[in-house]
Structure 1
C-alpha cells in the first residue's frame, strides 16, 4: 500500500483526532503525566495511529563491525554519530524507520538518536537533563506531523523537531542537540572501515522496506493542517536547518558548497531518500549534507521537510540566496 492511499483517509482522521484532543481522554494511558503543565494547545496534538510504545523505541543496541555488515544497500541512509572517545557509529534508517528512537551511550555520553519519517527529521540528543539521564520512547502522538516523544522517568512529552519538553514535569526543558548527520552507508563505511554499525534488532519488521512509499513526492503532509511554507517552496521539499535558519536543498544542488551565517554547508550526491520507493536503498538520490563552522567543526543541524521547519520556526529566516 502506498502512502498516497493513506492520505485519502487523513482528512477524516485529522478532524476526528482534533475533536478528541483532551487530556481527560489520555489520563488512563498516561496516569503519571502532569497534564496541568503544558506549553501547547491540546488541539495541536493528534493521534498518529499507534498507541504508546506501539512503535517500540530501542535501548542499548548491539553493534557489529563495518566489515561484518552485508545487508545494507550502498545508498541507504544512516545517521552518523562521531563522538570523542568512541569509534564512529552508524544507525541505519532501515531500523529507525520502524523504531524512531535509539537510546544509547557513545563515548560515555548518553544519547537518543531519533528519526521522524513524517518530517524526515533525524536528530541526535544528549539524554542528560536537570532531572537526570532520561530514556525516551514513542508516545504515538503527533504535533505538526512531528513525533511526540516521552521520557520513561517523568512521563513528560517532548517535541522531537525542537528537542523540547511540551507537557509534564519537563515542560520547557531543552535537550542539547549533538552534531551528527545523515549520509549513505557507502559514504560512512568508506570513511570509517573500522567503524561500527547498529545490528538488526530482534523484532519482526520488514527492515529495508519503506512503509511510507511515495511520501516525499506527495502534495501534502500527513495529519497536518498548519500553514504551508512561503516563497513557493513545496511543503515536502527538504531544507537544511541550522538553528532558526533554513537553506532549501534545491539551492545546495545548484551550489554544492555555501558559506553563510558563520557556517559552511556542503552537499554531495549519493544518498537515497528513505521515503520514496518501496525499498529504501533504491530511493531517489537526495544527496548528503555536512555542516561545519569556521574552525572546521561539525555543527548540529537537521535536513527536514519545509512544512515542518515553517511550523516550528514560523519566524525563521529562509536562506534563499540572490
Structure 2
C-alpha cells in the first residue's frame, strides 16, 4: 500500500498518541470523559490531524447537473433523494478531504459522511431528542473508523454506527437516512434535474486520491483488531444492511440477490475512490442499490469487511452457503 507523504506522516504521529481522558482533556476541555461506552481507551487513537484538522463542510453550494463540468463519468458520489426535493449528489472527491457535510434538505438537517479508511458512506439525520446537532471531525479513529463530534456537547460519535461513544450524549444513536454511492454518470442520467455539490473553497487537490492502492492492501491503516472470518480479506467490500453483510464479490457475480427481506442489485461502472491516484480512474467496484419488498430504498453501507466485523462482531455474514 502506498500513501501520499502527508498520510504517512499522520501514521507516525498517531503511533505516539493513544487516547485517554488525561491526554485528551487539554484538547477537549468540554467533553465529559467520565461517560463512555468504550471498553478500553486504547481502542481510540489519533489519526494524525487535530480537532477540525479535517474541516467539515456546512451548507455547501449546489449547481444543476447540466452545469457540472469537473466530474468524470465513473467517479463516485453519495446520492441523497428526499421526497419533494431535487436529488442531490455529494462527490467523493470532496468528501475524501472533508468527511462530513452538514446542511438541510427538505427541512431535514442532515450529515453526509464518508470515512475513507473504512469506505463507509452514511447519511444521518442530525435531529436528536437533545436537539439538532452540528458535526465535525475529531481526528481520532476507532477500528480505523472516523470519530465525529458534535458542537453542542462535544460528545464523540462513531461514524460507522452513528452512536455517541464518549461524552454527555453517550448511547444516543442517530437515525440513518437512505443514501447510496453510485457513479456520477448513473446519477446524472437518472436525475437530469438533480443538483450536485460544488467544489469547496479550500486549498485541496480535489479529485486526487490520498490513499493510492489502499483497497488492494492486506492490512487496514491504523487497525490492530481481528480480521474477518470465512477467509474474507480485510479490505474486501461488503454491503451492510443492519447487522448483516453481503460480500460484494457474491453480489457482483449474481447481479441481484433477494434475501432477508431485502433486494440488492449490482451494476458495473463506478470507480473505487481508494485505488488509482485519480479517483475517477480507479478500478470498477460497481453500483449497488438496496431496496425493501415494496421497492423503497433502504439505508445501507458499502464498507470494508474488517470494519463490519469490528463493529458487528456477532453480525450475520450472508455467504449464500
Q: So what's the TM-score if we normalise by structure 1? A: 0.96
SS in 2 for 1:291: strand
Q: Is the contact made by 1:210 and 1:280 (CA closer than 8 Å) also made in structure 2? A: yes
Report Cα offsets for 1:232-285 as digits up to 9, x if no partner: 000000000000000000001111100000000000100000000000000000
Tell whether 2:19 aligns with 1:29: no
SS in 1 for 2:17: helix
61-70 or 24-33: bigger deviation: 24-33
Tell me: CA distance 1:89–1:9, structure 2 relative to 1, closer, same or farther (3 Å): closer
Q: Is the contact made by 1:10 and 1:222 (CA closer than 8 Å) also made in structure 2? A: no
Give the equivalent residue in structure 2 for 1:122.
Answer: 121
Tell whether 2:220 aligns with 1:226: no
Give the equivalent residue in structure 2 for 1:147.
Answer: 146
9-18 or 90-99: bigger deviation: 9-18
Tell whether 2:198 aligns with 1:202: no
Tell whether 2:268 aligns with 1:269: yes
Report Cα offsets for 1:74-108 as digits up to 9, x if no partner: 00000000001210000000000000000011111
Structure 2 counterparts to residues 52-91 of structure 1, below 5 A: 52-91=51-90
Aligned-pair Cα RMSD in Å: 1.6
Unpaired runs of 5+ residues, structure 1, are none
Q: Is the contact made by 1:81 and 1:88 (CA closer than 8 Å) also made in structure 2? A: yes
Tell whether 2:279 aligns with 1:280: yes
In the alignment, the residues of structure 2 paired with residue 106 and residue 218 of structure 1 have an alpha-carbon distance, to the nearest angstrom, of 37
Unpaired runs of 5+ residues, structure 2, are none
In the alignment, the residues of structure 2 paired with residue 269 and residue 86 of structure 1 have an alpha-carbon distance, to the nearest angstrom, of 27
Structure 2 counterparts to residues 1-322 of structure 1, below 5 A: 2-3=2-3, 16-18=16-18, 21-40=19-38, 41-322=40-321
- CA drift of 1:311 comes to 0.2
Report Cα offsets for 1:196-222 as digits up to 9, x if no partner: 000110000000000111100011001
Q: So what's the TM-score if we normalise by structure 2? A: 0.97
Q: Is the contact made by 2:7 and 2:210 (CA closer than 8 Å) also made in structure 1? A: no
In the alignment, the residues of structure 2 paired with residue 28 and residue 206 of structure 1 have an alpha-carbon distance, to the nearest angstrom, of 32
- CA drift of 1:2 comes to 2.7
In the alignment, the residues of structure 1 paired with residue 47 and residue 7 of structure 2 have an alpha-carbon distance, to the nearest angstrom, of 13
Tell me: CA distance 1:82–1:276, structure 2 relative to 1, closer, same or farther (3 Å): same
Tell me: CA distance 1:205–1:44, structure 2 relative to 1, closer, same or farther (3 Å): same
- CA drift of 1:16 comes to 3.1
In the alignment, the residues of structure 2 paired with residue 198 and residue 85 of structure 1 have an alpha-carbon distance, to the nearest angstrom, of 18
